[in-house]
Chain A
Amino acid sequence: AQKITQTQPGMFVQEKEAVTLDCTYDTSDQSYGLFWYKQPSSGEMIFLIYQGSYDEQNATEGRYSLNFQKARKSANLVISASQLGDSAMYFCAMREPLGRGNTFGTGTKLQVIP
């Protein structure tokens, strides 16, 4: 069975600073995909970034980058130049095989301080 672990229940970061949110995963599959989703206080789930297990380069999407370390089974999210609007819950997830959706971690609540 696949498992996602997020060990940081909450994080604080100063505005304009960078922050890293941790995620480790466990799977026996050779081919897999990792996602990060953002959930602001309004409640919707927003896709941020994706990393495939065979991708040779770390994924980047604007201010978001994914620090993928396959041997360590980690897929940390890095947010550069934090903004007040980045305050939200962040979920790491893994794609289940055969189209079964995603397995989610417990989330990290990020608060950006002015």
Chain B
Amino acid sequence: DAGVIQSPRHEVTEMGQEVTLRCKPISGHDYLFWYRQTMMRGLELLIYFNNNVPIDDSGMPEDRFSAKMPNASFSTLKIQPSEPRDSAVYFCASSQRGATNEKLFFGSGTQLSVL
């Protein structure tokens, strides 16, 4: 299996622009998570899906953030409009409920810089 695939690896954009981060989870995994990592706040859960359905988006910081999972093999996290304080590493992770220890499999992350 190729693992969790995220794109792009790096994104540099200007304040006010729309940013779309993409994620392909591991085939067969029924949970998908979006995390944000910053020096100040560490790893924060933004939103997670179960069987493509958003379950808890209470970690999404503002209405500027939105996430979708149109099918089992694809998810997006969109920021519109972006702001400098959104600069962070965004991780997508997937897991399988009921699997041994239900550990998270992480993608390589997207390093987002908003200028």
What chain A residues lie within 8 Å of B56 (beta carbons)? 100
Tell me if B109 and A43 are in contact (CB < 8 A): yes
Tell me if A99 and B108 are in contact (CB < 8 A): no
Main secondary structure of the interface of B (DSSP, over half): strand
Tell me if A50 and B106 are in contact (CB < 8 A): no
What chain B residues lie within 8 Å of A95 (beta carbons)? 101-102
B70 adjacent to chain A (CB < 8 Å): no
Tell me if A99 and B102 are in contact (CB < 8 A): yes
Query: Given A100-B56, A101-B31 in contact, is the A52-B111 Cβ separation under 8 Å?
Result: no
Give the CA-CA distance A91 to B103 in the complex, in Å: 13
Give the CA-CA distance A25 to B18 in the complex, in Å: 38
What chain A residues lie within 8 Å of B75 (beta carbons)? none
Main secondary structure of the interface of A (DSSP, over half): strand
Give the CA-CA distance A10 to B48 in the complex, in Å: 31
What chain B residues lie within 8 Å of A102 (beta carbons)? 104
Partner pick for A91 among B43, B93, B97, B102, CB 8 A cutoff: B43
The number of chain A residues with a CB under 8 A from chain B is 21
Give the CA-CA distance A104 to B97 in the complex, in Å: 19
Tell me if A45 and B95 are in contact (CB < 8 A): no
Tell me if A43 and B42 are in contact (CB < 8 A): no
A76 adjacent to chain B (CB < 8 Å): no
14 A-B pairs with C-beta separation under 8 A: A35-B101, A43-B89, A43-B109, A45-B91, A46-B106, A52-B101, A99-B31, A99-B97, A100-B55, A101-B45, A101-B95, A101-B104, A102-B104, A104-B42
Question: A interface vs B, CB < 8 Å?
Answer: 33, 35, 37, 43-47, 50, 52, 91, 95, 99-107
New A-B pairs, 7, CB < 8 Å, besides A43-B109, A44-B106: A44-B109, A91-B43, A95-B101, A101-B31, A101-B35, A103-B45, A104-B43
